[in-house]
Structure 1
Amino acid sequence: MQTLSTQQQVPVYPFERDEVTGSNLFTIVRSEGELPYEENLLIPHRKAYYLLVFVKHNRGRHWVDMTPYERKDNTLYFTRPSQILVKEAATPLWGAYLTFTNEFLALQQNAALRELPLIQNPYNGHELLLTAADGDFVEEMLVKIEAEYNRPGEWQHRMLTAYLTVLLTYLSRLYMEQFTGDEPSADQRLLKTYQAKVEECFRELHEVGAYAALLHISAGHLSEVVKAQSGRPAIKHLHERLVLEAKRLLLYSALSLKELAFDLGFSDASYFNRFFKRETGTTPAEYRATIRKMYQ
């Protein structure tokens, strides 16, 4: 697995406009044994969009943050814009992948999609195992989406939204069954909303009270619900998100510790060092040396 040199930061690859359809918010691409991954995907990077890959057949290993995945047949892989991704090698893919942006989800007709578990991803999943019947259903919906995608006209966007809603809702049901087996309660939804806000604002907001204000509830109520539903204090979720981002950057980027602390919203690098050691038991410098030695 490659890491970045001292002159490189983690690149963010923008959404690429489809030159055939003109779409700049959503694309679908089918692969029948091609090598769809370009060389620049073999270095650590982020994508500025959501990615869903339906793998009918593929071999190889890729990383999402600090976790390696050996690719499996008849499996759906999904990522969100904040994650750091890297492939170990380009290998032929039989399947299809969807990409769409936050702007696509912000469209009024797509607003409900943003709330689906597969998009919110409260359990930080990446790999959704499919039965043969699930795979057949996903393939059928992708065929319908692809047909509409290549059929411009007055009804195209409505049809795409309808098919995509069915597909993502179906996958979200599988997601909940695979990761929890239960439908979320009102308090569980509040936990997920808090986690989503942390994901959005963790660099700027480091206090639970600030998130409670965003959600128009008291800090005490938010803390009580989050602790009851997750078993961890609300502040712990925020600290874990900061540590996760710090670990990503320590492994994949060559930012200095001072630059990394500033990127995460810490005005004082020494305070960031103390925070990281308190949360992990090791200093940022020690962690960087250990994790890079482990994965080289």
Structure 2
Amino acid sequence: MKASPIPQFHLYGEQESFADPGFVHIETIESRSRRNLWEISPHRHERLDQLLILRAGSVRARIDMDEQVLSGTVAIYVPAMMVHGFHFGEDVDGDVLTFSPELGRSVLPAHYPVQLFPGQALMLRLTDCQAAAIDPLIEQLRLECSGHDGGRIAAAGWIVALTLLHVERARALSGETAEASLESARQQQFRALVDTHFAAQRPVSFYAERMGLTEKTLTRMCRARFGCAPKQYLHRRLLLEAQRMLIYGSATIAEIAEELGFADPSYFTRFYRRMTGRLPSEHREGLPVH
């Protein structure tokens, strides 16, 4: 029996999904959250990143295993396939940008040193000056998305990239970590391969061959970037998906085990306990707010 999936949408509440490297959408946070009683239940987007810019109000944001309560001027970045949910205060004022990761990358020069799409979530408080630099870009993006002028997709890509650049500058000044911002092309390739194949539980040799590397070179890269051997990284990715499915999905433990490539639920239980010190059933109630 196939495990019950974590809800997956194009835009929240909309099941249609399609690949469009030029896709970009902007709307106020209020427009969608009000009709859902200010609650955006945990879900994910297969092919789209999101950036939320709050100018006022509050939000309880949950992204994978991290939950925070934020208020004031805030930027929240959610990469594709990362589970996220929000509960907004009724006084919230802000916008949510939903876009294909390829949109902004397409306008950056190949040698650009900063990776604007880091592959990890970000919840960041902005200063008034930082927000003042972003606000005009949001308004310009709104105009491009609502109009029909020539070149609007290219213009939207530049605006998205520039907006993310401002967020990256704010992150750097705040001292927040963003290890993935300096990932090499090979490191990004490895992450993408793991995200695609982790449930098949393929050996390290599979990834090394796909990347044209020896296992020794791949191990050296993983230890330098991720602080662990490739096999440990694969186990961490498998554990993350298991935690997502336990907390946000409705599948049984046996169904999750099957979905993640374990031949027997007992093998999955032993793996989970070895990785976390807990039984899978103990994670059903979720995690406390940090």
If the TM-score is normalised by the length of the shorter chain, which range does it land in? 0.7 to 0.9
Q: Which residue of 1 aligns with 2:225?
A: 229
Post-superposition offset of 1:247: 1.2
Matched-pair contact (CA < 8 Å) for 2:44–2:82: yes
Cα distance change, pair 30–256 in 1 and its aligned pair in 2 (3 A): closer
Matched-pair contact (CA < 8 Å) for 1:117–1:175: no
Which string of whole-angstrom CA distances, capped at 9 and with x for unpartnered residues, describes residues 57-81 of structure 1?
1213132222211122221111123
Cα distance change, pair 111–269 in 1 and its aligned pair in 2 (3 A): farther
Q: Which residue of 2 aligns with 1:67?
A: 66
Post-superposition offset of 1:89: 5.5
Q: Which residue of 2 aligns with 1:199?
A: 195
SS of match in other structure, 2:150:
coil
After superposition, where does 1:196-275 map in structure 2 within 5 Å?
196-275=192-271
Q: Percent identity?
A: 21
Which string of whole-angstrom CA distances, capped at 9 and with x for unpartnered residues, describes residues 226-260 of structure 1?
11333222222221111111112112222111210
Match status 1:79 vs 2:47: no
CA distance in 2, matches of 1:62, 1:205: 31
Cα distance change, pair 111–283 in 1 and its aligned pair in 2 (3 A): farther
Amino acid at match of 1:47: H
After superposition, where does 1:34-113 map in structure 2 within 5 Å?
36-39=33-36, 41-48=39-46, 49-88=48-87, 91-101=90-100, 105=102, 109=106
CA distance in 1, matches of 2:273, 2:260: 15
Cα distance change, pair 118–258 in 1 and its aligned pair in 2 (3 A): farther
Match status 1:166 vs 2:162: yes
Post-superposition offset of 1:139: 0.8
2:146 pairs with one of 118, 136, 150: 150
Amino acid at match of 1:66: M
Q: Which residue of 2 aligns with 1:26?
A: 24
Which 5+ residue runs of structure 1 have no aligned equivalent? 1-6, 18-22
Amino acid at match of 2:266: S
Post-superposition offset of 1:147: 1.9
Q: Which residue of 1 aligns with 2:18?
A: none
CA distance in 1, matches of 2:287, 2:75: 31
Q: Which residue of 2 aligns with 1:3?
A: none
* Higher RCO (CA-CA < 8 Å; seq separation 6+): 2
Larger mean CA deviation between 58-67 and 189-198 belongs to: 189-198
Q: Over aligned residues, Cα RMSD in angstroms?
A: 3.5
Q: Which residue of 1 aligns with 2:279?
A: 283
CA distance in 1, matches of 2:201, 2:74: 36
Post-superposition offset of 1:192: 4.2
CA distance in 1, matches of 2:9, 2:181: 34
CA distance in 2, matches of 1:198, 1:47: 18
